[in-house]
Chains A and B, each alone.
Chain A
Amino acid sequence: MTSPASSSEVKYLIESSEGNTFDVSGAALRQSNTFNAMFLNIGADGPIPFTDYNEATLKKVFEYCEHSVNEENYSGPKHQDDLSKWDLNFFNEMDQKMFIDVINASNFLDIERLTSYCCERIARMLRGKNTQEMIKVITLPTAEELEAKQKVEEKKAAAAKKVAEKAAETAEKTETLEELPVQQLVQTTRNKLTRKYLSFSNE
């Protein structure tokens, strides 16, 4: 849905598990190493399918990314006490389910800053507790639950594969573009820009 040489104004369409699409700035999306590895240099033709995560979760994740666009490059975990008021509000307003969904999505998208702040929060929950107290907090899974988790991990791997295939497909198209004569290349780019314009006007 964009050109490879994306500027901060460039928007990408993201598709959630409900099939809904919404746009995210290139600058925000570039905080995702998964995105960088797959789409940054080739662009995306059509919505990027992050269909393992619901819209609310993805919006929450990219809300964080949009907010931290202008922050300096991530240089390792920050102590919770050093988080800004905005960061604290961001985390505090999430319930546990949303928090877990956000970690899962952030982990998949490989957004270092967000993942590390979430993990730091979990570490804080367990700080100073002995083993017995920790067992109570972390609610150890049963064998069935571990098996179910294994299945979820496999499903996630399949989703990642799907995204990778999409990236490969786009790359193939990009390569084809490069082989086109100049006239055709101009026309194809014009079509892409028109589609992009339409996607914004649909909102």
Chain B
Amino acid sequence: MDASSFPLFCLPDKAIQNSMRCMEPKDIINITFCSNSTKHHGKCLNIKPLECFICIDQVVQIQVLIKPCRIFHSFLIPDTLEIKSFLDHMVHLFGNPKIDIYIHSTLMDFDSMRVVFGELNVNCLYVHPEDMDYAFYKKILNQFSKSAKQLDLSSSQHPMRDFHDVLIQNYDYISIEPMADLKIDDLLIMNSLSIYVIDSQLTDKDINRFLKHWISGANTRLEHIYIEFQRRSNEEVFKGIKRRMVSPRRFEGFIGGARERRVEELTDGIEIWNEKRTKKATIKFKRTTVKMFVWH
């Protein structure tokens, strides 16, 4: 049988869609660009990508993970119309999927970013700028952080206290690394389920202050916190805090950048509790890190 041409549209819709289901994910995406009809059939397949993410660096790279393949599409920064058209197609095809956005450079101007990415269903916003000026950084956070479920910031030389309106939002997960000026007050205003602080200058006293605030009722939604800090003595960390050793328990909560809740097995730990005795937390140290798991 001649494979160089095949009148696909002579087939009933169900057979067209079944044929598409048998294709590799990359081929499915390619065929949906052939016509409105193939686009419609592609949507009917109801494919849910495991991950979609956009990386804005020297080029704009869009990745879609549909088991078992990761599909890459790269665009030059000036081709904003082409990027927008591709994204609109993906959003239609996959039913407005959650998308992670990584912003690594300022090569794409803010207005273009707003036009191209402004309507997306942002899951995680990563802003890892090398040379991002204050105004650009602030605009980016204001534009994209509001709809994001997770926030990942790094290498900013800009003062954290200027971004409290961003940090205060109810993210599932927030990660900060390394922010030289990070203070305990910045942590206390965060209302996230999971907080990661990497390579901080926080001291034993700072951690002690954070724990005391948690005991008094701060960070009510917190399920898990991970802090890399300047650790010297556990006694300093727990000064004035009632505690006891507890045997291993299995924790289930929102940990790290996972899209879903996941379980972490605990070996042992130190248990503290809040003033009202309505919540307990297990604290575990490892070298210069502290992890706290809150039992709700």
Contact = CB atoms under 8 A, between A and B. Distances in A.
A129 B8 CA distance: 15
Interface stretch (B20-28, B57-65, B94-102, B210-218): B20-28
Interface in B14-42: 14-15, 18-24, 27, 30-31, 33-35, 37-38
A140 B21 contact: no
Nearest to A80: B22
A119 B28 CA distance: 13
Given A94-B1, A138-B34, A127 B19 contact: no
Interface of B: 1-15, 18-24, 27, 30-31, 33-35, 37-38
A193 interface: no
Given A108-B12, A119-B18, A139-B7, 6 more contacts: A115-B18, A116-B22, A125-B6, A131-B31, A138-B5, A138-B7
A156 interface: yes
A16 B18 CA distance: 26
A140 B5 CA distance: 11
Given A119-B22, A138-B8, A125 B27 contact: no
Contact of A156 (B6, B12, B24, B31): B12
A53 to B, nearest CB: 13
B2 A122 contact: no
A179 to B, nearest CB: 39
A76 to B, nearest CB: 10
Interface stretch (A6-14, A35-43, A99-107, A181-189): A99-107
A120 B1 contact: no
6 contacts: A99-B1, A127-B27, A128-B24, A131-B31, A137-B4, A141-B9
Nearest to A116: B18
Contacts, number: 101
Given A99-B1, A127-B23, A131-B31, A104 B9 contact: no
A120 B15 CA distance: 10
Given A94-B1, A123-B19, A125-B6, A104 B30 contact: no
Contacts of A149: 9-10
A145 B18 contact: no
Contacts of A115: 15, 18
Nearest to B35: A140
Q: Determine which residue in B3, B5, B6 has the highest number of CB atoms from chain A within 10 A of its CB, and name it.
A: B6
Nearest to B29: A131
Contacts of B6: 96, 122, 125, 137-139
Interface in A75-132: 77, 91-92, 94-96, 99-100, 103-104, 107-108, 115-116, 118-120, 122-123, 125-131
